[in-house]
Structure 1
Amino acid sequence: MSTAEQMEDLNGVRALITGGTSGLGLAMAAGLAEAGARVAITGRSADRVAEVASTIGNDAIGIAMDSRDETSVEAGATRAWDALGGIDLLVNNAGIGMRTVNPDFMTTPQGFWEVAPAAFRDMVETNLTGYFLVARAVVPRMLDARSGRVVTISMNHSTMNRRGFVPYGPSRAGAEALARIMAADLADTPVRANILLPGGATATGMLDGTARPGGLAVLSPDVMRPPIRWLASKEAADVHDERIVATEFADWLAARRA
């Protein structure tokens, strides 16, 4: 087992993972719970989020929350904070992919002028505004508690600029810019903020049923487990404004420890 794959001891850590019913969110939630953390996951469907939470273990909590809606976010954040007795780690992950706009986006790119305005707005509301609303609801509580960590889930820069990737690319580029500004705003506070991304196309619902040119290889969502566990650990207490690529995490961590 490599250094990066060693299990962290996260007993006592309380984590909120948005979009935790599948894909990257579920993998991270399960990885954190496996290491001893108490986790709350969110999703739009109350039945679905409760069902998935029951499979995670360690008394995971499912919270119905629509990250696009300010009232829903505030209620969800309050419920998570009260149920966990505080939040040490917020993982902003909830999002939707290009398949919702163009099911054939991998093989038949669509010009930006062909994207319906409503589809553009919905993706930006989910992938960017949602990150803002959730962080806005949770971070002030962390500041009052004088402790907390925020991890923003992002994607490769090439994805943000890829042909046919409107509105997904702009929404993810905006989310990464938001994460950098949040880190700058939090630099002189006890709350730490970082970015985490898989490092390649990942086998999630965003790719389900999508043709992949040239047999495109995809990563398992489990690639996110070691870095998110480390970011929740005591060793990462002072890590701030880093952009960590999961596929490169072992080398990154080894260099950091050298």
Structure 2
Amino acid sequence: MNLLDGRRIVVTGASSGLGLAMAEALLKAGASVAMTARATDRLDSEVKRLTHAGYDAYSLPMDVRSEQSISDAVSWVVQTWGKIDVLVNNAGIGMRTVNSRFMLEPQPFFEVTPQGFRDVIDTNLTGYFLVSRGFAPLLVRQGYGKVINISMNHSTMRRRGFIPYGPSRAGAESLSYIMAEDLLPYGITVNMLLPGGATETGMIPDEMKKQLKVPLLHPNIMADPIVFLASDQSDGITGERMIATEFANWYKERFGNS
């Protein structure tokens, strides 16, 4: 029996990068996974690949900035599954959307366009709020469930030239802590997961990768911790900020060799 047999999980931003890696890890652990994204062609291709491999994957088009799109996705979950066990908020856009050379030529905040700022905040922060708000009534009615919000290193939230990406992730962390408190009375946990370093997700332009002094992490770094957080093993854990590169040591300290 697989660790996540019978689990119904929604992963946003699942057509590539961290979202795809996490969706695949959850599927391999036995879960049914609704993979959401706006780019339906790429999403459909990945879902087709996974279903052909024997996994219970579903393509669920959803724009995290649209209340109607989210409502439609919630309706799909209710009609198709009748429940949701885990929601993974991952959909996001990076600094290259406002400054294509952000790693080499940091742009001060006063040169960021208002629309560029809004686009990143609307996706990375407001999107987490809207999706969580959309699924929360279902979770509350069930009286159980897990929400996992993907974040980034604190250094990213303070780095020169990282507006609006840094504030969007800092806001998402604050949102996560408050969500954990708000949902605690209903038996729902909320935790954060971050890779622990710069990751090969497509957010860093190819020409800039060679400028980095450390190698990029592979998105699969998220596999073990996301499966843990989606499983019964994480029951009762809420308000936790988990770093994927440190997960093995964290798990050993918390659970020993069990």
TM-score by length of 2: 0.94
Q: CA deviation at 1:115?
A: 0.5
> Partners in 1 of 2:43 and 2:175 — Cα distance?
27
Corresponding residue for residue 155 of structure 1: 152
- 2:118 maps to which residue? 121
**Is the 1:99–1:210 contact (alpha carbons within 8 Å) kept by the matching residues of 2?**
no
Q: 3-state SS of the aligned residue for 1:42?
A: strand
Instruction: Verify the 8 A CA contact 2:31 2:56 in the aligned structure 1.
Output: no
Stretch of structure 1 that moved more, 32-41 or 78-87: 78-87
Q: Does 1:146 align with 2:154?
A: no
Residue 28 of structure 1 corresponds to which residue in structure 2?
22
Equivalent residue in structure 2 for 1:257, among 236, 255, 258: 255
CA-to-aligned-CA distance 1:139-161 (integer Å, 9 cap, x gap): 21011011100000000000011
CA distance in 1, matches of 2:139, 2:127: 18
Query: Higher mean Cα deviation, 208-217 or 128-137?
Result: 208-217
Shift in Å, 1:45: 2.5
- Structure 1 residue 114: Cα displacement: 0.7
Question: Equivalent residue for 2:61?
Answer: 64
State the distance in 1 between where 2:241 and 2:36 align.
24
Q: Secondary structure at the match of 1:211?
A: helix
Within 5 Å, give how 1:98-109 maps onto structure 2: 98-109=95-106
Q: Is the 8 A contact 2:157 2:167 kept in 1?
A: yes
Contact 1:15 1:89 in 2 (8 A): yes
Correspondence for 2:72: 75
Counterparts of residues 1-258 of structure 1 (less than 5 Å): 9-57=3-51, 58-212=55-209, 213-258=211-256
Considering Cα pairs closer than 8 Å and 6+ residues apart, tell me whether 1 or 2 has the greater RCO: 1
Mean Cα displacement is larger for which, 27-36 or 7-16? 7-16
Mapped partners of 1:189, 1:225: distance in 2: 27
For 1:108 and 1:238, locate their aligned partners in 2 and report how far apart those are by CA, in whole Å. Answer: 44
Whole-angstrom CA distance in 1 between matches of 2:22 and 2:172: 19
Q: 1:107 to 1:11 in 2, by over 3 A?
A: same
4+ runs deviating over 6 angstroms? none
8 Å Cα contact 2:221-2:244 kept in structure 1: yes
SS in 1 for 2:146: strand
Query: Whole-Å Cα distance in 2 between the matches of residues 189 and 210 of structure 1?
Result: 48
In the alignment of these two chains, the number of paired residues is: 252
Deviation at 1:109, TM superposition (A): 0.4
Cα distance in 1 for partners of 2:156, 2:25 equals 26
SS, match of residue 181 in structure 1: helix
State the secondary structure of the residue aligned to 1:250: helix
Stretches of structure 1 lacking an aligned partner (at least 5 in a row): 1-6
User: What percent of counterpart residues are identical?
Assistant: 50
TM-score w.r.t. length of structure 1: 0.94
Q: Structure 2 regions of 5+ residues with no counterpart?
A: none
Secondary structure of the corresponding residue to residue 93 of structure 2: coil
